[in-house]
Each structure stands twice: as C-alpha cells, then as structure tokens.
Amino acid sequence: MSLAIDARDLGVRYSLKFTRKTTFRHSFGGLFRRKRDTDHFWALRHVSVALTPGESLGVIGPNGAGKSTLLQVLAGIIQPSEGVVDVHGHISTLLHLQAGFDQDLTGRDNILMAGALMGIDHRVMEEREDGIIEFADIGRFIDQPLKTYSSGMRAKLGFSIATAVDPDILLLDEVLQTGDEVFRAKSRVRVAEVLTAAKAVVLVSHDMSWITQFCTRAILLEKGHIVADGEPDAVVAEHLARSEQRKKDRAEQIARIARGEELPEGDERRRRRREKRRAG
C-alpha cells in the first residue's frame, strides 16, 4: 500500500541571531569567528514518520517539543532544514486556513476564500456552504467581519471548513479546545466520520482522550526527537509518566534551592565570576 505521508529524517533548525541586537562591529566580527552551536537550535531532529491511508496518528509531548513544527512541515508551510517529506493526496488543515483568513471579510466570505486557497472549485464550496455554516453554529456572526470573532468562533469555523472538504489528509493542531462542550461532542463525531472514510489524520493534542479514542498510532516528541512510537495507550502512558517525573525533578530542584544547596543558574554564574575576579 502506498504511503499517505512519508517523512524521512526531518530536521528543522531555527536561527537565534535575529533575536539579538545587531551592530556593524558585531556583524563584521562574526565573519571571522567560528559559528557557535548557540547561534541556532533544532526544533526537530532525525524525525521520521510514515503514515498509510486509513491511519490516524496522534502527536503528543510537552510544550516546546516540536509538535506544531512537525505539523507545519507536513502541511508544507515551512521547509525542513534537512530530510525529505512526500505527501500523497489533498491536505486540509487549519494551519492553512487560519493563516489565510481575512479579518475584514465575513465568515461566509472566508468560507469561499478558504476553498479557493485549498484549490477547491468555487461551485463545490457554494454547495457545501450551508452545511459548513450549520456545523459551525456561530449564529448571526457568520455575516460579521472575522475581526469580531472570539477565538472559539474562529476555531469552530475553521474546523467546519477543514473537515467538510473531503480531504485525503487532515492535519489538526489543538483546534478543538474551545470550551464549548456541545461543539466538542459534534467534533468527535465529525472526526470519526473522517476516519471511517479511510482518510489519513494527524492530530496534535494535549487532550489524551482524543489520542486514545481516535488514533491508531501515536508518537511522543521531546526536545525535537521521537522518544516513543506505538500503540496510543502505551505512548500516552509513557508521556504521563515522563511528565510526572519532570514535575518531581522540578519540585526537588526548588527544594534544594530553598535549602541553599543549589543556586539558580543566573546566581551560579554570578558567583563563579566573583570567584574568578578574586582569584585574579
């Protein structure tokens, strides 16, 4: 069976130099200095993901693990610094839609514009417009400019569009945390419908119930690396155990600092500088 997604040895590297104040003297001097590892960081490194049609992959991990970056690479929004991504089929994702929404247009107009951005025939979007509006259930706001929407209404509209266009591959990134239990219940039914249509789904979520209920497989990302890959229940259990251990380690570190046994990193650097000055 051909793969819906085949991502091999992905790496995404971000430069940190743009966050620093740049001067001519600093820039000129940099031409003669060896590049340091601290000038960049890897949001993803050596990540490989293969997804067959009909599979649903859950991506979990702590904040900053690289989950959203991975989804953006799969969606083609950002290009990897290394590795190769092959995607076979039409992708639907809120990552594209949210970026393409026009704040000054109404929700109704944004539905048609989103279809154009995804390469869907205008007549097809017109035929599905009523269904999208009904599912989003945002009332009279559908004819108001998007800039008047709450984040929850934007999420509802985006999810309704993304799941109404019969995608081959659906990418979802924490779009269902609207606090609206009625819509969340409808969303679960809609995701189940997408899965039964043998479409590939990649779901990033902090809600482990979504991962265990809908995903056939899960990966755990930490610091840009896959540290677990397998059955959703097992990967979720590993994630929860690691999270609990991090909490314990942090609590112990705080306790050592309170007892004076360990200084925070900044205080420790200042102490070492003072000792160096005295020794000199």
pLDDT (0 to 100) of residue 20 = 46
pLDDT at 36 over 70: no
pLDDT at 203 over 70: yes
For the sheet with 225-230, list strands across it: 91-93, 169-173, 200-204, 56-60, 217-222, 225-230
pLDDT (0 to 100) of residue 126 = 93
Question: What's domain 1-17+40-89+169-179+199-258's superfamily in CATH?
Answer: P-loop containing nucleotide triphosphate hydrolases (3.40.50.300)
Average pLDDT score, the chain: 84
Identify the residue whose tokens are 């003669």. Answer: 32
pLDDT (0 to 100) of residue 44 = 96
Burial class (CB in 10 A: 0-12, 13-18, 19+), 95: buried
pLDDT at 125 over 70: yes
Percentage of the chain with pLDDT > 70?
81
Stretch 181-210: mean pLDDT: 84
Stretch 86-90: mean pLDDT: 86
pLDDT at 206 over 70: yes
Stretch 73-78: mean pLDDT: 90
Stretch 249-273: mean pLDDT: 75
Contact indicator for 83, 11 with CB cutoff of 8 Å: yes
pLDDT band for position 94 (50/70/90)? low
pLDDT at 84 over 80: yes
More confident residue, 16 or 64: 64
Cα distances (angstroms) measured from residue 166 to each of 20, 27, 209, 217 = 45, 50, 24, 22
pLDDT (0 to 100) of residue 199 = 72
pLDDT (0 to 100) of residue 15 = 82
List Cβ neighbours of 163 (8 Å cut-off, separation of 6 or more): 92, 170, 190, 191, 194
pLDDT at 56 over 70: yes
Tell me the two tokens of residue 62. 């702590």
Residue 192 DSSP one-character state: H
Task: Find the angle CA(105)-CA(110)-CA(114) to the nearest 5 degrees.
Answer: 145
Domain ranges of the chain: 1-17+40-89+169-179+199-258, 96-167
